[in-house]
Structure 1
Amino acid sequence: MGEQHWQKRWKTIIDKLDVVPDDAAAQRLLNTLTCPETTTVLGFVNAHAMNLVVADAEYCAALSAADVLLRDGSGMSLLYRRLGLEPGLNMNGTDFIPRLMAAYRGRRVAFWGTQHPYLGQAVQRSESLFGVVPVSVHDGFASVDSYLALAREQQPELIVLGMGMPKQEAVAARLAATGRPCLIVCGGAILDFLGGKVSRAPRWLRRLGGEWAYRLLCEPKRLFKRYVVGNPLFLLRSLLFGKAAVSARRAV
């Protein structure tokens, strides 16, 4: 793909991102997401997502169609600073989605993603920790039509998708077309974390923005391409994108 095209896609996503400046703003966002008046899609954008956007136009369209997009990870913080923008809080889904589920205590939740036994363990833990009411539990390998049927039948108030990119964003976009009040969360590996398949990095490493390195150490084969290949590509593209943005500002 030509340089101009991928930069247009990056600009589309960056323009759509919601920067959350502080804890008070995060709480306001949380309050808004607990009372959706129509189908609302919440997505997260990290360096991996930006790399996928480059080569996948359909994914770019599905991601940018989300109602709320949040910055996730240290890579996106670097990109923001490269553009002369304040990145705000790191709104990674692994921390924010449990807060959301806690706010949905006593309400109907669908869990779609990953596979058993981790899916079942994630549901049990969510019931115990957050008091949610699971009404639909399904792995992440079904057809989109299967999830649409489950949504019609069970009418969950919250849908947690743990299918990974780009499938979860495609499913979320189709679900959003139904228009029924519901929050749909593109949760990536959240069900794997809750189900015990994947462990979190130590808190000190998370504060330094190094959780990706911990995940790579734990799953080197699966995540080699994403991090060892993907991170340098993202950094290179960030430099090129930042340079283009600076040139465009000077030309105005």
Structure 2
Amino acid sequence: MGETVDWIADRVERGIFTQHVVVNVAKLVHMQSNPDLASSVKGCDIINIDGMGVVWGARLLGNSVSERVAGVDLFYKLVEMASERRLPLYLLGATDAIVEKTADILSKKYPGIKIAGFGNGYFWDDEESQVKKIRDSGARLLFVAITSPKKEIFIERWKEQLGVDFVMGVGGTFDVVAGKVRRAPKWMQRSGLEWFYRVIQEPRRMWKRYLVTNAQFVYMLGKAYLQPRQ
């Protein structure tokens, strides 16, 4: 986490555009059938693992992964960094009520924060106007709280016109900040059961998604494990 924040902060200060993404089990599975999503992820400047399933899978295949870098935790760290360095940021995603509440909570939590603007995640009829708002705001950091793969594809499509130095997709983070969704207890996060906690909170919407993607990931991991490795 510390290495990630320092690396991003250095690039933002130097005005080097940086596109960030986190990968979890579901995203790795969907990348297999969605070439646009796969291309946007692979085109990022930095990729973190958000999901203990991927951490364990990587270690099983002989890759050294020191820790999980959860998107929600990284978001808070980067907002803190931006407030300390007076770097303006833009919040994009969720509903009007949620993104407004997120901006209000962050303003109270981080007194030095400069929120250049915010907007909801329902702008698909006129993406260009939303991109112009972001560019005209003067923001240096952009956080996009839209579901996958929409956010990754949107960022990849417009990254050269956003006018920011850093952009990160943060999924449902604004819902967490605003208190609409609760995060799993720490022991469930460490045990790789955060997905199960989401299912408990939203069973109708989440159970099928996680059942299918988790099963596909286990299959993918088994195939990779059985393949000869150098």
Tell me if TM exceeds 0.5. yes
* 1:115-172 Cα shifts (integer Å, max 9, x gaps): 1322211111111112322222111121332332112221211111000211111121
Number of the residue aligned with 1:109: 89
Distance 1:108 1:201, change over 3 A: same
Distance 1:58 1:73, change over 3 A: same
Number of the residue aligned with 1:43: 21
* Cα deviation, residue 183, structure 1: 0.9
Distance in 1 separating the partners of 2:229 and 2:62: 13
With 50-59 and 181-190 compared, the bigger mean Cα shift is at 181-190
* 1:48-101 Cα shifts (integer Å, max 9, x gaps): 110110110011111111111111111111220221112221011011110000
**Equivalent residue for 1:219, pick from 198, 202, 209:** 202
Number of the residue aligned with 2:107: 127
* Cα deviation, residue 30, structure 1: 4.8
Query: 1:44 corresponds to which letter in structure 2?
Result: V
**Equivalent residue for 1:234, pick from 208, 217, 228:** 217
With 235-244 and 68-77 compared, the bigger mean Cα shift is at 235-244
**Once superposed, which parts of structure 1, at least 4 consecutive aligned residues long, lie more than 6 Å away?**
none
SS in structure 2 opposite 1:111?
A: strand
Number of the residue aligned with 1:60: 38
Q: 1:34 touches 1:104 (CA, 8 Å); kept in 2? A: no
Distance 1:153 1:179, change over 3 A: closer
TM-score normalised by the chain length of structure 1:
0.83
Number of the residue aligned with 1:142: 123
Distance 1:159 1:36, change over 3 A: farther
Is 1:174 the counterpart of 2:154? The answer is no
SS in structure 1 opposite 2:20?
A: strand
Q: 1:80 touches 1:86 (CA, 8 Å); kept in 2? A: yes
Query: 1:60 corresponds to which letter in structure 2?
Result: A
Number of the residue aligned with 2:141: 158
Number of the residue aligned with 2:66: 88
Structure 1 runs not aligned, ≥5 long:
1-22
Distance in 2 separating the partners of 1:24 and 1:120: 29
CA RMSD of aligned residues (A): 1.9
SS in structure 1 opposite 2:13?
A: coil
Distance in 2 separating the partners of 1:221 and 1:190: 20
Number of residues of Structure 1 aligned to a counterpart in Structure 2: 225
Distance in 1 separating the partners of 2:12 and 2:209: 32
Distance in 2 separating the partners of 1:221 and 1:33: 41
* 1:19-45 Cα shifts (integer Å, max 9, x gaps): xxxx65345335435425232111101
